[in-house]
Amino acid sequence: MPHTVVVLTGASRGLGASMARAFAAPGVHLITLARGTDASLRADVEAKGATLDAQVVDLSDAATLDRNICTVIAAMPRAAERYVLINNAGAVAPVAQAGNFETADVATAFTLNVTALIMLTSRFLSATEALNADRRIVNISSGAGRAAKSGWSVYCATKAAVDMFSKSVKLEQVEHGEHGARIVSLAPGVVDTDMQVAIRSATPEQFPSVNAFQDMKETGKLATPDSVAAKIVAYVARDDFGSIEIDDIRNY
């Protein structure tokens, strides 16, 4: 049986794929959630001695969300020493001024960025509560949840929700003493991923700060997914993990 089980969403590309590779080690069982599969990811993970259960799910689909989450949680081995949930999946869309939204786009954003994260956390906590194991949750948030940006009102709102949800869950888990799960809402910084491509493709009318993000790309100021993933893996392993529930990986 594995000594560590890691459940990771948004694992097919970008920061998520880098985290999957970074967490891979002997004794680690990875359960990844993504809309597609990547044969090279499986090869890389298994080459490092880990095992991989790649679940193909669309966490933005409200109609299938609960069923998919229950399937993933049921797949977790129940005899590990540590359980880690990394809620990484998310999207910046819709990037627009607030007078130009469509209901479906806003609903999709909240389903993926908030509802899926909340329900995965809920089912994870319930499934591991009776286990004699260390439990850790990382909700990948954003500086956008802590500082407003024109054109990102929906994204900012979803990430602010992630921060407040994490703070509230910490209050609940502290009441369980040493057995309580530890939780952090963690901003990863500005990472060179497909999300950044989407951000840079916006017009100044949609997103007035777009030129600043284009400049960061052109001047090499974006962090690489691999470097950020390595920092997050080290962060999750810290003895004091969870002591700061709203954090930024750039502080480390």
Active site residues: 155
With tokens 């940006």, the residue in question is: 149
Name 68's Cβ contacts closer than 8 Å, sequence gap at least 6. 33, 55, 57, 58, 59, 61
Cα 179 from Cα 175, distance rounded (Å): 9
Residue burial 46-83, b: 16+ Cβ < 10 Å; e: rest: eeeebbbebbebbbbeeeebeebbeebbeebeeebebb
Residue 238 CA, chain-centre distance (Å), reads 18
Which two tokens mark 53?
């259960």
Taken as a whole, the chain contains a residue count of 252
Give the burial class of 24: count Cβ atoms within 10 A of its Cβ; 0-12 exposed, 13-18 middle, 19 or more buried.
buried
- Among residues 177, 159, 38, the alpha carbon closest in space to that of 91 is found at 159
